[in-house]
């Protein structure tokens, strides 16, 4: 894949990820995290840290999941490998918190691990389908 196509696919994947995650964080799970984490949540999002996470997570998905699945034309491969990648990435954060922080809720860990898997798989599958459409012919 050319550098131009790689960058285009990265931007498309980033947009897909951002839209899906904002729906989750802003609508579906907004009250869940407030209820579970209470005073541990910052009043303001640290956007540089959040943006860096998004950029790195998408780079990892693209390198390890999306590009190989797109080369094979296999969206199902992207779905399950993206789900596993998301599970591992979210587990790194949540299981570390569970292991090292007082009063970190087990329920948050379970929900986040499930969300990481759903998000990683969905984004990867959608990105492969978008890539197949963008780069057809």
Question: Which tens digit of pLDDT belongs to each residue from 22-71?
Answer: 999 888 887 999 899 988 888 898 999 999 999 999 999 999 999 999 99
Closest to 45 measured CA to CA, from 61, 25, 31, 62: 25
Counting every residue, how long is the chain? 137
Domain ranges (residues) in the chain: 3-134
Distance CA 132, CA 54 (A): 23
* pTM value surpassing 0.85: yes
Distance CA 28, CA 8 (A): 29
Distance CA 5, CA 23 (A): 27
Mean pLDDT (whole number) for 6-16: 96
Instruction: Say which residues have a Cβ less than 8 Å from residue 103's Cβ, sequence separation at least 6.
Output: 40
């Amino acid at each position: 894949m050319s550098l131009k196509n790689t960058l285009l696919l990265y931007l498309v994947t980033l947009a897909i990820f951002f839209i899906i995650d904002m729906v989750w964080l802003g609508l579906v799970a907004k009250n869940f995290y407030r209820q579970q984490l209470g005073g541990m949540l910052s009043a303001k999002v640290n956007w540089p840290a959040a943006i860096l996470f998004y950029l790195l997570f998408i780079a990892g998905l693209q390198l390890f999941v999306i590009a190989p699945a797109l080369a094979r034309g296999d969206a199902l491969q992207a779905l399950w490998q993206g789900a596993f990648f998301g599970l591992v990435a979210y587990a790194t954060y949540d299981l570390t918190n569970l292991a090292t922080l007082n009063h970190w809720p087990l329920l948050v860990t379970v929900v986040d691990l499930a969300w990481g898997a759903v998000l990683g798989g969905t984004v990867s599958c959608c990105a492969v389908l978008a890539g197949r459409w963008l780069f057809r012919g």
